[in-house]
Structure formats: C-alpha cells, structure tokens
C-alpha cells in the first residue's frame, strides 16, 4: 500500500499531529510556516530535506494527498477551500470556519470536491469519552434527554511565559477569543455520544477580567460562557467552551430516561454510571465507579498520544476515510463542523444580545446558506490587516489597561529576535 503524502500548514500544533500521521504509516512531505525556527525544529524531527514554504499557494503545488490545517484558529476555511478545489484531503483543527459566510463557502467547495474533509476534533476520541459513548450506545441509559460538557482550562494569568508562548503578538487570535468560540472540545463529545445536532442556541457570559498586574493584551474580560442548545431530537445540551475557573477539567455528563453516566471531575480516568432501583439493569450496581481500559488494537500507540489518545485516533480515522474513499461520521464531517462553528459564532451573538435565541443553520440546505453567505462578521483581526467587526467581550468597551499592555510588551519582547 502506498503511503499517503501529507503536508503540514502551521508547525506549532502541527508537529504534534504530524507525529500521529507517521505512527499511522503516512509520510510527511512538505511544511508551510512563517517562522524559521519552527521549520528548523520540524525538519530536525521529520527530515532535514523536507521542503518548506512560506507561501501557501506554492506549498499546495507540492505533490501531496492531504493537508493538516493547524494555522491560526479562525483562519482555516479559506485554506481548506483552496485544498478542496485541488481535491486535496483536509484535516482541519478547531472550528472549521471563523465566519458564517466562510461556513457557506466551505460547504459549497466541499460539495464540488472529490476530497475528504474532516474536523480534527480529538476530545471525543479520549478514553473517558470513548467509554461514555460505549455506555450510551448500549441503551441502558434510555433516551439521552440532557447532556453537559465542560472544557475548563484555567491559565496562570500572572505568568509572562504563558503569554509569550500562547499570545505572542498583540493581534493574536487568543487576545480576541470570545468565550463561546473554542467550543469543539465540549460540544464535539456530546454530539458524538448522542448523535444529536444543535438547532437553537442561547448563551450568557460571566465578566471577570484578569488582574491589573497581569501581562495582557486581551480584549476579552469574560471568564466563561454558559451555552445552551436545543437539539434536533428534542434534547438539551449545556456546554462551556474555553473557560477559566477553579480546577482544570474536561468532563461530560449524559442523562437518560433510565440512567446517567459521567466522567468524574478531579478523579483521574474514572467514570460513574448510575440508575434508579426500578431501572437497574440485571447484574449491575446502581452506583458504579470504575476506570475504563483501552480495548483497541493500537492501544499502546494510543496511550502515548496527546489529548488522552485522541490525536492518534483522530488521525487514524482520517486516513481510514481516505483509503476507503468515504467521508467521516458526525461530528467530524463538514456539516457537523459548520454546525459547531455556528453554535460558537451565534452563541457569542446571543451573549452580546442578552441571551437571545438563535436558530442554527444546516448548510446542507441552500435556503440556510442564502441567509449567511454574506455574513462576514468576526471578532478577530484578519490576515490581510482588516480589523474586527464585532466585539469579542460581553462588555464591548473592555480593553487591557496601560499597565497590562506594558507588562505584556515586556513579556513578548524577545519572541522574534
């Protein structure tokens, strides 16, 4: 079997995913990145003779079968469209589209292409989330009527090293990231486990800015957003996207008509499954806590992978789809991906409008596409220098103080020497 040839666009996060392609038998054949130090590090790991480009269009001229898009969070769709036009398979990190109009353009490009498109959402593939899906699929929980999922990732806000690593330019996307946007790590798992697709969204944010003595260029003073969706099967999800409160956790709770299952906060890799006495399955405890084990032919490679094994399994699924000439299942396919992006984007609009409920479009339908094909609003700076066109915070006038900006400038001053 010929090796699938893969190009990597974005060599920060991209290096981690490229490793999993190698572990899955693919070949890394080209890099694209603006920074020489990243290119040098990638070549040292994957091959000193691998060609590297700083222009994406030239990069796409290199013979390859697939591209990993790990560039800036909000800028994936335009590059995915270019790949799809050349029938190059796409594995795209994080949200698929930064604007609603980009979502329309992405789906239209996909439908004209012969390529596989897959969202590289890895959290559904972790050990605990794989186990929760197994429990839900077994039917003992009954119909899942409510699910909640949190992606809570607090950072040490006074640490200049964190700023230097993650928010390394004043216009970096993380300095303008609304609290509903980084949503796929929480929404992806519950869509994966239940098969439900959001149809409406409402959200509220908690405004609580970082300390005055923190190095910061962030225009987001919100700490979290509570996001609620009504789904196509009548169920409800409550999720938080990138939140910053209390102890770090990524947890899911599934509530069915007969039972509940959840990953336990702060308890390691433990799952709790609960039933009422009158719905207790035969030979089952009504409050069972246990640590699941991998039951997978690639268990040893999975255990070494980032994100609880999710990176390896995500790449494996993508390569299987290419080899078998099929599209990935939900929530990794292009339509689910644009739904998740729509929840992120319209959820933020709900925050800005007092929790207003927004309908989530289905970009399979041309009528839904027509509603959003010119909707280019964004809270982020564009690569061509265009400024944000919508506030990124629930308090639209919030901005970093002069003291915070001075500390921020000191933190990043040596980044690009």
C-alpha to C-alpha distance for 81 and 102, rounded to whole angstroms: 9
Order of strands, edge to edge, in the sheet holding 222-231?
287-290, 271-275, 259-263, 249-256, 144-152, 236-243, 222-231, 198-207, 358-359
Q: Residue 35 is part of a domain; what is its CATH number?
A: 3.40.50.720
148 and 111 in a common domain: no
Residue 1, pLDDT score: 65
133 and 69 in a common domain: no
288 and 365 in a common domain: yes
**94 lies in which domain range?**
5-122+316-324
C-alpha to C-alpha distance for 144 and 164, rounded to whole angstroms: 43
Beta-carbon contacts of 2 under 8 Å, excluding residues fewer than 6 positions away, are none
pTM above 0.85, yes or no: yes
C-alpha to C-alpha distance for 269 and 263, rounded to whole angstroms: 8
227 and 146 in a common domain: yes
Within-domain flag for 401 = no
C-alpha to C-alpha distance for 385 and 127, rounded to whole angstroms: 41
Within-domain flag for 267 = yes
Order of strands, edge to edge, in the sheet holding 27-32?
52-53, 27-32, 5-9, 66-69, 89-92, 117-119
Q: What is the mean pLDDT of each run of 10 residues along the chain (417 residues)?
A: 93 94 97 95 96 98 98 96 98 95 98 98 95 97 98 94 93 97 97 98 98 97 98 98 92 98 93 95 92 92 84 96 97 98 98 98 97 98 95 98 97 77
267 and 147 in a common domain: yes
Is residue 123 within 8 Å of 129, Cβ to Cβ? yes
Beta partners for 149? 239, 252
Residue 416, pLDDT score: 59
Within-domain flag for 403 = no
340 and 201 in a common domain: yes
Please give the tally of structural domains in the chain. 2
How many CA atoms are closer than 13 Å to the CA of 195, on its beta-carbon side?
6
148 and 232 in a common domain: yes
281 and 154 in a common domain: yes
**Phi-psi label, residue 320: left if phi above 0, alpha if psi -120 to 50, beta otherwise:** alpha
Within-domain flag for 63 = yes
365 and 238 in a common domain: yes
14 and 92 in a common domain: yes
Residue 231, pLDDT score: 98
190 and 262 in a common domain: yes
154 and 13 in a common domain: no
Beta partners for 229? 201, 237
């Amino acid at each position: 079997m010929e090796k699938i040839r893969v190009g990597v666009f974005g060599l920060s996060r991209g290096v981690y995913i490229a490793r999993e392609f190698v572990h899955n038998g693919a070949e890394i054949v080209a890099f694209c990145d603006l920074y020489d130090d990243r290119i040098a590090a990638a070549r040292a790991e994957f091959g000193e003779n691998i060609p590297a480009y700083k222009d994406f269009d030239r990069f796409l001229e290199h013979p390859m079968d697939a591209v990993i898009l790990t560039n800036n969070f909000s800028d994936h769709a335009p590059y995915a469209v270019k790949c799809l036009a050349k029938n190059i398979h796409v594995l795209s990190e994080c949200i698929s589209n930064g604007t609603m109009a980009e979502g329309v353009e992405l789906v239209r490009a996909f439908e004209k292409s012969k390529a596989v498109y897959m969202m590289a959402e890895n959290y559904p593939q972790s050990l605990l989330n794989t186990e929760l899906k197994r429990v839900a699929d077994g039917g003992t929980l009954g119909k899942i009527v409510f699910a909640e999922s949190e992606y809570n990732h607090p950072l040490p806000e006074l640490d200049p090293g964190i700023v230097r690593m993650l928010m390394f330019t004043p216009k970096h996307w993380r300095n303008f990231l609304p609290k509903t946007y980084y949503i796929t790590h929480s929404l992806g798992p519950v869509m994966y486990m239940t098969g439900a697709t959001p149809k409406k969204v409402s959200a509220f944010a908690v405004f609580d800015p970082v300390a005055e003595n923190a190095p910061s260029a962030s225009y987001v003073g919100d700490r979290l957003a509570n996001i609620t969706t009504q789904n196509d099967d009548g169920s409800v999800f409550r999720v938080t996207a990138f939140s910053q409160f209390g102890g770090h956790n990524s947890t899911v709770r599934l509530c069915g008509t007969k039972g509940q299952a959840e990953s336990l906060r702060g308890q390691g890799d433990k799952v709790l499954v609960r039933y009422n006495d009158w719905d207790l399955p035969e030979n089952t405890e009504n409050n069972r806590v246990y640590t699941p084990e991998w039951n997978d032919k690639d268990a040893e490679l999975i255990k070494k992978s980032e994100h609880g094994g999710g990176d390896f399994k995500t790449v494996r699924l993508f390569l299987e789809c290419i080899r078998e000439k099929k599209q990935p299942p939900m929530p990794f396919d292009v339509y689910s991906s644009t739904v998740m992006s729509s929840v992120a984007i319209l959820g933020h609009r709900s925050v800005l409008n007092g929790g207003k409920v927004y309908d989530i479009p289905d970009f399979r339908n041309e009528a839904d596409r027509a509603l959003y094909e010119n909707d280019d609003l964004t809270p982020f700076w564009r690569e061509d220098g265009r400024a944000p066109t919508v506030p990124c915070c629930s308090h639209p006038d919030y901005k970093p103080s002069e003291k915070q900006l001075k500390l921020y400038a000191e933190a990043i001053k040596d980044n690009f020497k």
